[in-house]
Amino acid sequence: MLSQTLLALLVFGGLVIVANLSLRRANLRRLLVAALGAVVIIFVLTYGFLPENGSTLSLILSVLFGGVMGLLLLDKPRAWIGARLFPAPKSGQGVGFDPTSPVHLTALILVILLFANTLISFVLVGGLGGVAQEFSSPTGGAGDLISIENLLIQMALWVIFAFLGAGLFTRRTLSETFRRLGLRAPTMNEIGMGTAVALALFSLVYLISVVWQLLAPPQVFEDQTQVSQLIATNIDTMLLAFALALTAAIGEEIAFRGALQPIFGLWPTSLFFVLIHVQYTLTPAALILLMATLGFGWLRRRFNTTAAMVAHFLYNFVPLAMLLFARYALDILGGL
């Protein structure tokens, strides 16, 4: 995983750096567009024509996403699409999608690329059943993926891309980058609001889960939640639960709420966040996650990213901690 992370950082991080530099060096813009075009072509070839276990659906999806990304490399289609999907840029405020910005173009292409990669990989492994089988594998399964080392690597990748995208050391200082990403020490009011949002989300999740379990046939409910159950089963210590909650809160909030939401807006960013979590695809859990991410996004817009991180951490950690305490209690009672 480390080698793949370093390769992604080298290739895509390089594109993000060039995008920031091209804001002041117009001669780099053509190079950037050419490089993004090459990435799109490689993506289509990799997923559409080269995999031995490929399918007609993966070919169609790769060509479809490749066509969309290719279209977005053109100025007029990008401006037309951006005006209809994303908030307009506000002068001097650093928010809104600017179709003429090479940084915003690069962010949009990479966002679509990540979603396309996630969706096609989901199709290639066989949907929810295939994902569950991969997660339950003795090697490379949930037990290997949910390790403190891998969690730290994933968090670092999100954070690095967010800071590079915000222009750290290419057009902003460290303090300016922190402000752009909405990062600062939280006030007691912000901690309280983050906690309140997390509690409200717990209540909604509980209600939806009860209705979901009542309405869905037992086998369907089990099939739709098997990946989440496998993940929860492999979190067997409080330290691992804390690490999972903390790294997700830091990495995902800085990347999505800190870096992307000011550009693409609350709803598009929230929908994208849901779509890349393939274990919830096409299940009611996607609705639960959408409400959660909208809550985090509201905190970012109303307060800052740090407040959203507080809510995200509590939203992840408290249920895991309760589950672990229940296991400990059962173990103790079983030994009596």
Task: Note the pLDDT tens digit of each residue in 240-283.
Answer: 999 999 999 999 999 999 999 999 999 999 999 999 887 677 77
Query: In this structure, are 233 and 334 located in the same domain?
Result: yes
Q: Looking at 125, 151, 182, which one is the last position of a domain? A: 125
Strand partners, 90: 95
Element housing 319 (H / E): helix 305-334
Calculate mean pLDDT across residues 222-234. Answer: 73
pLDDT tens figures, 106-143: 999 999 999 999 998 888 887 777 777 776 666 555 55
pLDDT tens figures, 276-330: 887 677 778 888 899 999 999 999 999 999 999 999 999 999 999 998 888 777 6
Identify whether 131 is part of a domain.
no
- Going by pLDDT thresholds of 50, 70 and 90, the confidence category of residue 20 is very high
Query: In this structure, are 114 and 195 located in the same domain?
Result: no
Alpha-helical segments (H) within 95-187: 102-125, 127-135, 142-145, 148-165, 174-180
Query: In this structure, are 18 and 165 located in the same domain?
Result: no
Number of domains the chain is built from: 2
Q: Decide: helix, strand or coil at residue 284.
A: coil
In this structure, are residues 43 and 63 in contact, taking their beta carbons and an 8 Å threshold? no
Q: Of 2 and 95, which is predicted with more confidence?
A: 95
Q: Looking at 59, 94, 125, which one is the last position of a domain? A: 125
Query: In this structure, are 29 and 111 located in the same domain?
Result: yes
Query: In this structure, are 118 and 144 located in the same domain?
Result: no
Q: What share of residues in the chain are helix, strand, coil (percent, to 5)? A: 80, 0, 20
CA distance 122 to 130: 8
Query: In this structure, are 115 and 204 located in the same domain?
Result: no
Structural domain span for residue 220: 136-336
Calculate mean pLDDT across residues 22-43. Answer: 95
Q: Looking at 125, 146, 168, which one is the last position of a domain? A: 125
Phi then psi for residue 168, to 5 deg, are -60, 125
CA distance 41 to 66: 7
Query: In this structure, are 212 and 326 located in the same domain?
Result: yes
- Going by pLDDT thresholds of 50, 70 and 90, the confidence category of residue 58 is confident
Nearest to 318 by CA among 198, 207, 234: 198
Token pair for 89: 């840029």
Query: In this structure, are 147 and 112 located in the same domain?
Result: no
pLDDT for the residue 105: 97
Q: Of 284 and 17, which is predicted with more confidence?
A: 17
Query: In this structure, are 116 and 175 located in the same domain?
Result: no
